[in-house]
Structure 1
């Protein structure tokens, strides 16, 4: 097994257009406030998204992000975003990247430490995640851009 296929098998998960985050976090269960520092910011941000989003459902933004209401720094102004959080302990999750027509679509899998694990561009590509314990979050995007789509092999 190659490292790339092992990475896909272990961390591959969401394919609908965007970024995904695989997370196992005991801090999520804690009810008392925590002090956020440089050392724990990455996990604190992840915990924040899990506490403020709905599990098991893709949510689609139908309007462009306002400059003063951005979930992340420098959101694309010509982009529609989708996001979802899934409990991978309950069941495996598979999402297939649809044919975007004339739109550019991508999906990025990000670890709980904010490292990119996988990126998907090709229509029909799908990632399944069901072997890792924990939760997963995705942020997805779609935009009209003059970028040619290519199929990864």
Structure 2
């Protein structure tokens, strides 16, 4: 593929990613959270840089939409900090996707991040990244199942009962 064709293709993918993020507003508006077009463009740029910095490639829309849909009901998110936290969560996700050696699915890692962010970390990204995800990655690399994953399984069982 020529350089011009590749650039055009990447541009189209990024435009589609921006549109997908803007569509998330239809869901998140009920929580008082919305992204402007500019916010969506910047989030796609953050994703591109995070992928590059972590030596990853991604096909499709990426995980930002998944992060948005899982985190939008967090009591620690408001319109005031929404975009900044999404940038940080995107960078944290890709870093720890590598650190966990891809032993967790995207969905499981995001659910773990959300559970920890809302409960143990009480909205602290520093605790999430510097302690909870660090411990998770360390435990997974050594073949141990972190006790936190049991909490997630218990939480899922409770949700299934309703």
Question: One fold, TM greater than 0.5?
Answer: no
* TM-score using structure 1 length: 0.22
- Which structure carries more relative contact order (alpha carbon 8 Å, separation 6+)? 1
Q: What's the TM-score once normalised by structure 2's chain length?
A: 0.21
Larger helix percent: 2
- Which one has the largest radius of gyration? 2
